């Protein structure tokens, strides 16, 4: 019963589409929900306001004290450090992603040439072009996810600190853990939801070039789609290696500054670096 077979296959395809798109959207929606919970954590305590430009100067000019005055100085310094970290993270990502874009262009051309060459004197430019496009889309998806993860992490670090200042101690542990865990959840759910939707869109676009109902067409289609994973993994490697070098340089720099400038001994808790 060929009509019945095609009808059943169509229903299965529709159900799969609903599940894939639905779970992708649910992941992104849940990431937005977690971020909304983070936004509820204010970096300002009641009655504590500062000027964005002069806050750190005001904090430096203030004497170290106890009680509300000391807490105000502490919060002002924390907000300034938070802004400095945010600016540094943006500068690092900009510099890294400029190099990543150059790599994507160069390696994408290499993928185009190698995949298109199917034999001596034989070229399949369609397959090479689609594979190179998948590579570029995967790389851009990974870059967007990396930027989102970095910005959310920077956004949450000071808010986790604020949460750890709650009283009693049991509430501080709970609040700070929830803040950090939700920040990680934003990255995780947004990344998986976005990647799922982009990958599904690519597959449907490429289905217009290859007949996925045949073994040969499906094989070629998913050989082209394999470029998506290659692009995402390549940028993830840049983020892991480049980010590791950046953080280690920052760690060593802070450690040396603590010893030489501030005179803080080795492994002193006042210098977490």
pLDDT for 80-118, tens place per residue?
889 988 998 899 899 999 999 999 999 999 999 999 988
**Element of type H or E holding 118:** strand 117-119
What pLDDT, on a 0 to 100 scale, did the predictor assign at position 58? Answer: 42
Question: Measured between alpha carbons, how far is 189 from 34 in angstroms, rounded to an integer?
Answer: 10
| Residue linked to tokens 């924390």 | 78
Question: Measured between alpha carbons, how far is 224 from 194 in angstroms, rounded to an integer?
Answer: 19
Confidence of residue 54 (pLDDT cuts 50, 70, 90): very low
What pLDDT, on a 0 to 100 scale, did the predictor assign at position 197? Answer: 95
| Cβ-based neighbour number of residue 231 at 10 Å | 26
Q: Taking the alpha carbons of 236, 241, 243, 244 in that order, is the dihedral positive or negative?
A: positive
Residue 202 has pLDDT above 70, yes or no: yes
Q: Which of the residue ranges 65-79, 134-148, 191-205 would you say has the lowest mean pLDDT?
A: 65-79
Question: Measured between alpha carbons, how far is 247 from 250 in angstroms, rounded to an integer?
Answer: 5
pLDDT for 1-53, tens place per residue?
445 554 566 778 788 889 999 999 999 999 999 999 999 998 876 555 544 43
Residue 183 has pLDDT above 70, yes or no: yes
Q: Which residue has the higher pLDDT, 171 or 56?
A: 171
Burial of 156 (0-12, 13-18, 19+ CB in 10 A): buried
Q: What mean pLDDT, rounded, does the chain reach?
A: 84
3-state secondary structure of 258: helix
Q: Which residue has the higher pLDDT, 170 or 213?
A: 170
What pLDDT, on a 0 to 100 scale, did the predictor assign at position 272? Answer: 67
DSSP 266: T
Q: Cis omega before residue 271 (within 30°)?
A: no
User: Angle at the Cα of 62 (from 60 to 63), degrees rounded to 5?
Assistant: 110
Confirm whether pTM is higher than 0.75: yes
């Amino acid at each position: 019963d060929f009509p019945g077979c095609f009808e059943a296959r169509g229903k299965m395809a529709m159900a799969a589409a609903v599940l894939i798109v639905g779970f992708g959207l649910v992941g992104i929606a849940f990431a937005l929900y977690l971020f909304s919970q983070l936004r509820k954590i204010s970096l300002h305590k009641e009655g504590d306001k500062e000027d964005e430009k002069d806050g750190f100067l005001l904090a430096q000019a203030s004497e170290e004290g106890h009680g509300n005055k000391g807490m105000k100085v502490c919060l002002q310094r924390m907000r300034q450090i938070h802004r400095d970290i945010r600016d540094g993270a943006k500068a690092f990502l900009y510099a890294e992603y400029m190099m990543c874009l150059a790599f994507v262009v160069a390696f994408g051309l290499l993928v185009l040439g190698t995949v298109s060459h199917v034999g001596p004197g034989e070229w399949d430019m369609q397959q090479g072009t689609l594979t190179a496009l998948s590579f570029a889309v995967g790389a851009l998806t990974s870059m967007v996810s990396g930027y989102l993860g970095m910005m959310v992490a920077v956004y949450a670090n000071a808010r986790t600190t604020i949460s750890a200042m709650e009283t009693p101690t049991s509430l501080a542990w709970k609040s700070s853990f929830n803040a950090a865990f939700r920040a990680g959840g934003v990255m995780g759910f947004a990344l998986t939801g976005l990647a799922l939707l982009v990958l599904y869109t690519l597959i449907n676009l490429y289905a217009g070039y290859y007949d996925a109902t045949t073994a040969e067409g499906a094989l070629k289609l998913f050989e082209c789609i394999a470029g998506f994973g290659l692009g995402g993994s390549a940028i993830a490697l840049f983020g892991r290696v480049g980010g590791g070098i950046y953080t280690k340089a920052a760690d060593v720099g802070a450690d040396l500054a603590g010893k030489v400038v501030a005179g803080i001994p080795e492994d002193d808790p006042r210098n977490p670096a």
